[in-house]
Structure 1
Amino acid sequence: MSGGAGTRLWPASHAACPKQFMPLVGDRSMLQETIERTYDLPGFEKPLIVSSGAQGPLVQQQLADGGYSTAAILLEPEGRNTAPAIAIAAAWIAARDPAALMLVMPSDHVIANVTAFRGAVASALGAARDGRLVTFGIQPHYPETGYGYIRKGDVIDAANDIHAVAEFVEKPPLARAEAYLADGRHYWNGGIFLFRAGVLLDELDQHVPAVRAAAVDAMAQATMQDGFVLPGEAEFSASPNVSIDVAVMERTDHAAVVPVDMGWSDVGSWNALWAVRDRDPKGNAVKGEAVTVDGAGNLIYVDGGPPVATLGMRDCVVVSTAQGVLVMPRDRSQDVRGVVEQMKAAGLTP
C-alpha cells in the first residue's frame, strides 16, 4: 500500500512527494525498502502495488531506480481508506488464484530486523492457509499513546507462537499504555497482515458487503493505461471509506496475531524519525547541512532548504526544505497535521 500523504512529516513529506518515496532513514526510499524485504524470496511473487492516481509516476520512477519489476500497479481513483485499497488488491489476486496468500505491507514503515520479520511471516503461513486473518503484533518497548494495540488471546499454535486476537484497542491514554506495556499481552498494531485473498473477500462480504462489491465491480471495469491498472472510477468510489481494522479485523472471529520484535516504526512523526535515526552521544540526529552547538536530543533535518545552526536547544525538531521550515519541541510532533491545515488555510502551502 503506497498511497498515503504523510502530512505529519511536513515539510519534508508533502503532496508532491509523500514520505514513502523518500530516503528518510537509509539510502533507499521507504517504498524501496518495503519491496526489498520480500523481493525475489522463494515463494513470493513480484509485488502488487496499490497507490493513488497522482502518485503513479513516482511509483514507476522508484521501481526503475531500484531495478524492481511488479505484478501490477493499481491506482485508486480516490482515497477511500485501507479496506477498499486492500480489497481491490484481493480482487486482482483472487481473479487469478482465490487461494493465494497476500501479505499486506504499508510502504512507509521502518523494520530494522528484517530477519525477524521474515521469520514471523513464515510462522504465520500455516494459520493463514487455514483461513485465519493474521496480523503481526509489534513488541512494545515503551508506553506509546500514538499507536493502537492488539491483545492476544488463546493459543492457536504454540510452536509458531500464534494466538487468537482477544481485542483491538484504540490509541490509549498514557496510564493505560503503561499498563499494557507491563502486562505482556498487548502489542502495537502495525497494520501488516497475511491472509488468503478469497478469505478476505468473503470476510468483507460478511461484514461490509459494500466494500467487496465496490472492489469486485471496480476491478471488473478496470482498464490499462501507461502501465497502470485503473479500477472503474464510479464503482470504486461507491465503496464506504473505512479502514481494514474497522471493516474486518475488529469484527471477524478468525483474527490471529503473531508477536514479533523487529525494530518496527511507522515513522509517523518527527519524533518517531528521531528515534530510528543514528544519534550522536548527546542524542542529536542530524541530516544535511546543519550544526548544533551545546544541544541535546534534537532532530535537525535539512533537505533542499537553507543550512541550519542551533545553539543551546534541547529536545527540538528543526526541518529545512524547499517547501518550508518547521521548528518545534519534539514532544509536539503529533500536532504537525494541525499546523499543515493552518498553513493551507493561510495559503502558505501548495
Structure 2
Amino acid sequence: MSELIHPVILCGGGGTRLWPMSRPARPKPFLPLLGERTLFQQALDRVSDGSIFAGPTVVAGEAHVGHIREQGGDVLSLIVEPCGRNTAPAIALAAARLPDDAVMLVCPSDHHIGDVPAFVAGAQAAAHLAKSGCLVAFGIAPDRPETGYGYLQRGDPMEGGFVLDRFVEKPDRARAEQFLADGRFSWNGGIFAFTAGRFMEELSRHRPEMAEAVRQAVAAGASDGATFRPDAGPFEGIAGESVDYAVMENTDRAAMVPVSMGWSDIGNWQALHEARAAGGAEAQGNVAEPLHELASCSNVMAVSDGPRISVVGLDGVIVVVDGDEVLVTSADGAQAVGQLAGAKGK
C-alpha cells in the first residue's frame, strides 16, 4: 500500500451565504477571504507536502473549471461532475479512479484551518485508521455550544482515534450545551479518510444503484490532459445524497480522529468575522481595514471592494459592500443572508 495520502478536494457552492461578495459564478472557495490566497488555494497549500501527500484530485462542476485552472494550475488533476449530486457521488468518482488501497483524504475547499500542522497530524492519524479498514471522520474540538453544525459522538478508544458511535443532527441550544459539557461530542467538519476500495465496498453495500452508476460513468468517461469528464448519462440518474447519509451513518466501520486545528466552515459573515478576529482584532472586537472608520463601535466588521465604510455607535453589526450591492446584517441575522433574493441571483 502506498504510504502517501491522496487528497480529494470537493469544490462547489451556490455562492449565497457570503453574498454579496460570493456569487453563484464565483462562490467562496475562490475568494481571498483570509489572507491573499483564496480558500481553495489554501486547501491546496495544506496538502502540498510531497513526502506525506500525493497530488490532489479536485472534484467540481463545469461552472468552476475556469477558477480551478486559474488558481490551481493546468496540471492539477480535475474530475468534472456532469451535474451536482451531493458529496457521496462526488467522492465516489474519485474513489473509482484510484487504486483500491489508496488512502483518500476528503476535504471541502471552502473551510479555514488556522493550525495546519494539527491538520496534517490529524490526516496522518486518520490515514493509519483508514489502512486498517476504518472509515474515518475528523471530529473538530468544539469551543462553544454551536447549533449550526452536526456533531459526532465518540465511543471506545482505538489506536490513533475512537470508534464513532453516532452522528447527531444540528442540535438546539440546550442540547448543544449538553454536548459541550459531556465532552464526548465533536463538530462534524466534513473531512473524511478511507481507502478507495473500502469506500466503494461500503457504497455498494448501502447504495448499490449509486455505486453502479458511478462505475458506469467513470468507465465511459473521457480524459483531456489532467481533466477527466465522467459520462453524463449514468451520473445524471443518481439521486443526490451526502456521504454522511449514504455511507458514514450506515457503516459498522466508522471511526473518528479528534482534532483541534482552528477550524471554521466560514458558513456566514459572522463566522468570517470570528475567523478574522482570531487573526487580530481591535480591543472592541472590531475588524476592518484601515480605509474604514468605526467610532464607538464593538464587534463590528466592515468589508468593501472600494467605497469607504463609516459606522458609528453600533454593536454586533456586519457591513459589506461589493460592486453595486450593500449588505447590512446583525451577527445573529448572518445565518439568513442566503435567503435574500439578491443572493439567489433573482
Q: Do both share a fold (TM > 0.5)? A: yes
Q: Residue 145 of structure 1: SS of its match in structure 2?
A: coil
Q: Segments of 4+ in structure 1 off by > 4 A? A: none
Q: Using a 3 Å threshold, how does the CA distance of structure 1 residues 311 and 155 change in structure 2: closer, same or farther? A: same
Whichever residue aligns with residue 220 of structure 1, its letter is A
Task: Tell me which residue corresponds to 1:330.
Answer: 331
Task: Tell me which residue corresponds to 2:83.
Answer: 78
Q: Residue 178 of structure 1: SS of its match in structure 2?
A: helix
Please tell me whether residue 188 in structure 1 is matched to residue 193 in structure 2.
Answer: no
Deviation at 1:249, TM superposition (A): 0.5
Please, which of 27, 30, 33 is the counterpart of residue 36 of structure 2? 27
Once the two structures are superposed, the pairs formed by residues 1-350 of structure 1 within 5 Å of their partners are 1-64=10-73, 69-70=75-76, 72-93=77-98, 97-157=99-159, 160=160, 162-225=161-224, 227-277=226-276, 278-287=280-289, 289-303=291-305, 305-322=306-323, 324-339=325-340, 342-343=341-342, 349=345
Deviation at 1:11, TM superposition (A): 0.6
Q: Residue 178 of structure 2: SS of its match in structure 1?
A: helix
Contact 1:288/1:301, CA 8 A, preserved across alignment: no
**Partners of 2:171 and 2:343 in 1: CA distance:** 30
Deviation at 1:323, TM superposition (A): 5.5
Deviation at 1:5, TM superposition (A): 2.3
Question: What do the CA deviations read for 1:268-326 (whole angstroms, capped 9, x no partner)?
Answer: 010100001031111011147422111110111112x5321111111011010015211
Deviation at 1:247, TM superposition (A): 0.3
**Partners of 1:193 and 1:229 in 2: CA distance:** 23
Contact 1:134/1:195, CA 8 A, preserved across alignment: yes
Contact 1:30/1:109, CA 8 A, preserved across alignment: yes
Q: Using a 3 Å threshold, how does the CA distance of structure 1 residues 291 and 344 change in structure 2: closer, same or farther? A: closer
Name structure 1 gaps, 5 residues minimum: none
Deviation at 1:32, TM superposition (A): 0.7
Question: What do the CA deviations read for 1:15-56 (whole angstroms, capped 9, x no partner)?
Answer: 111100011011100011011111133132111000110100
Q: Residue 321 of structure 2: SS of its match in structure 1?
A: strand
Contact 1:205/1:212, CA 8 A, preserved across alignment: yes
Deviation at 1:225, TM superposition (A): 4.1
**Partners of 2:219 and 2:131 in 1: CA distance:** 26
Contact 1:223/1:230, CA 8 A, preserved across alignment: yes
**Partners of 2:172 and 2:50 in 1: CA distance:** 40
Contact 2:19/2:343, CA 8 A, preserved across alignment: no
Q: Residue 210 of structure 1: SS of its match in structure 2?
A: helix
Whichever residue aligns with residue 125 of structure 2, its letter is S
Q: Residue 105 of structure 1: SS of its match in structure 2?
A: strand
**Partners of 1:332 and 1:311 in 2: CA distance:** 19
RMSD: 1.6
**Partners of 2:71 and 2:149 in 1: CA distance:** 28
Identity %: 41
Deviation at 1:121, TM superposition (A): 1.4
Q: Using a 3 Å threshold, how does the CA distance of structure 1 residues 344 and 118 change in structure 2: closer, same or farther? A: closer
Contact 2:15/2:25, CA 8 A, preserved across alignment: no
TM-score (norm. length: structure 2): 0.93
TM-score (norm. length: structure 1): 0.92
Contact 1:302/1:320, CA 8 A, preserved across alignment: yes
Contact 2:15/2:26, CA 8 A, preserved across alignment: no
Q: Residue 14 of structure 2: SS of its match in structure 1?
A: coil
